[in-house]
Structure 1
Amino acid sequence: MQASDTVSALQEQVRRAIAERRPLVPRGGASKRWLDPDPARSRDAQVLDMRGHAGIVAYEPSELYVTARAGTPLAELEQLLAGQGQCLPCDPPRFARDGAGATVGGMVASGLSGPGRLSVGAVRDFVLGASLLSGRAEVLHFGGQVMKNVAGFDVSRLLAGSMGSLGAILEVSLKVLPQPRAQATLVFDMDERQSIEQVNQWCARPLPISASAWFAGHDGRGRLHLRLRGARAAVDAACAGLGGERLDEAQAEVLWAGLREQELDWFAPSWQPAAPETLWRIAVPSTTPPLGLPGPTLVEWGGTLRWLRGDADAGLVREVAARAGGHATRFRGGDAAVPVFTPPSPALQVIHRRVKSSFDPHGLFPDCFGLS
């Protein structure tokens, strides 16, 4: 089926949903379905299956951009880029254990970044342009294909992390970067507080730091893992100056891929069906000291991202995160009655409702915060 035919079919499905007043849920590979903010609504909704709208539209390695349809498998896109020595440097996770595998549209809609977020930015920072199927069955185009075309109110980046609440993403243009020429992973024995302070100090220096992760192993000892990426001379100089134990390349690859996909042993309990534990994703300023919440903690992005596993009270977790100037997401497991996302402030609720009603006046698509 031609791309125009798939878009027409999707538009017709939206028109029918408007006429029937029935909700819709855009879905690709369903690789992040546990983040659904309203599972009961989704059970009653029609699925807007985006997997048929797939394929690479344009790729210009010399211009560092690629345009892909929403249903394109993320693995397929990454393979294409690797063939030209390029990559999506923010390490977007696939979470391939679930569904048919991650898609490009789902990557942008979830807005999730992996370990590389520390040094290069989030998924939204690599979105140059996008097209969207709105709740009016209109195809809307935003942004462009190169950085100089992005101006004004950047709706294309607003779609990153929107969880399908504004409509179904049809196509995205993404900035890509060359793969690093050299990399190394160093390991240091230190506690959580020391690791947060140390990484923040190192990040203030011109070091090729790409990612960090602190967690306690089975022996109870806390270890900081630091990934360096860049020119060979810069990586070698940083290794010599920082010290620590250097992992061999195979071990390092397993570590960072396992962290990105949450396949490390540390995450294992949260993957169990109907997990009694909650896996919290807590975003706070990087210099925030240890939060002191009960349960095992894993610290990424130099202290900005804290993963908490256990049965800590949801109200307490969100109160502590808010006091630190951040927020907490019930990422996986736990009590389904607890909202996935932290409800926005009253002022942000007003903005959220206005933006959503502009794109989805009939309320067809899911609402991340349950405000519609």
Structure 2
Amino acid sequence: MEERVKELDCLYQISRIVEKRSDLDTILQEIVDFIPSAWQYPHIACARITLKENTFMSPHFQESQWKQSAPLIIEKKNAGCLEVFYLEEKPHANEGPFLREERKLIDALAERIGDAIKLIHVEKELSSYRKNLEEIVEKRTSELTLANHQLQKEIAERERAERSLREFEDMRIKEIHHRIKNNLQVVSGLLYLESTNYDPNKVVEAFKQSENRVRSIALIHEKLYQSSNCKTLDFLDYVNELMQYLIHSYDLDTNKVIVNVNVDKFHLEMDRAVPLGIIINELVSNALQHAFKEGQDGVIEIHFAKENSDYILVVHDSGHFPKEIDFKNTESLGLQLVTNLVSQIDGTIDLNISEGTTFTIRF
């Protein structure tokens, strides 16, 4: 657990270094200075980043036979490498003296460093292009009365520059979603680690539910980051992946309980996708925990469609919902959260328990 916390902290600190600095050499030097602290034996670890002809080394750097490395890939090309050395022999683990988790960490760090280098290069190129364009436009403006054709050319150049600026803005938005996703993953990981410190079932389950809620939000940012359109979400794809996560989280026997997803193919904006994702997470989690007795067969269904100007979400399970419980006035945090989120999207929610349990939400 201690090693996992160190890895999460390392990824978080690297993200902070990239966010605070603009000079590439400074960023890479600060990163290489910090990396040894995340390894199992930090007092005998050192690191080196090689980027083309430039080299950045941690204090007291020295090569040794105990080495772990990962390539720096920029625009699908090998531009250098990240290396970590141990200066003394240590017991064999997975990759020489290095842990399996350290292989995953060095690969993740190399990917993060490659992304940072690419982003800084794009920013510098765009700044240079913008400066050159402004100089050209300023010079040509004084000659407008002499050549209308030249004016049209300058307008075309400015339009190309504006397209470049829009593309750059899209890249920045995706970068923001990437950082949010990473921070939420850190929170999710720490919640999981915290839950392993407690034995009482209720405390462990509370951490598990919190982890699932964070994951339902993080998954939205992950999908937006991967999409070419970083403002709207493919909701069918999102719900399918959320169900796979919950099935794994609750160790569901899919031969006993079947989960069916029937969601129309369309995209949702963030202000609707986030509350709907949490609502689906809460209702499905509630069904997985309470609807079926141990070993009982069952079905959980999620339907989502648009009728005229309204959206309709239906979450149904074939299990049992206690008649004495008023879902709108209960101590259950999950159902309280569902009710509040439905109000947030200006919707209505109804419950039918005549045949299983069916929640219907309209907004």
Under a length normalisation based on structure 1, what TM-score does the superposition of the two structures give?
A: 0.25
Identify the structure with the greater strand proportion: 1
Q: Which has the higher contact order (CA 8 A, sep 6+)?
A: 1
Question: Which has more radius of gyration?
Answer: 2
Query: Which structure features the higher share of helix residues?
Result: 2
- Structure-2-length-normalised TM-score: 0.25
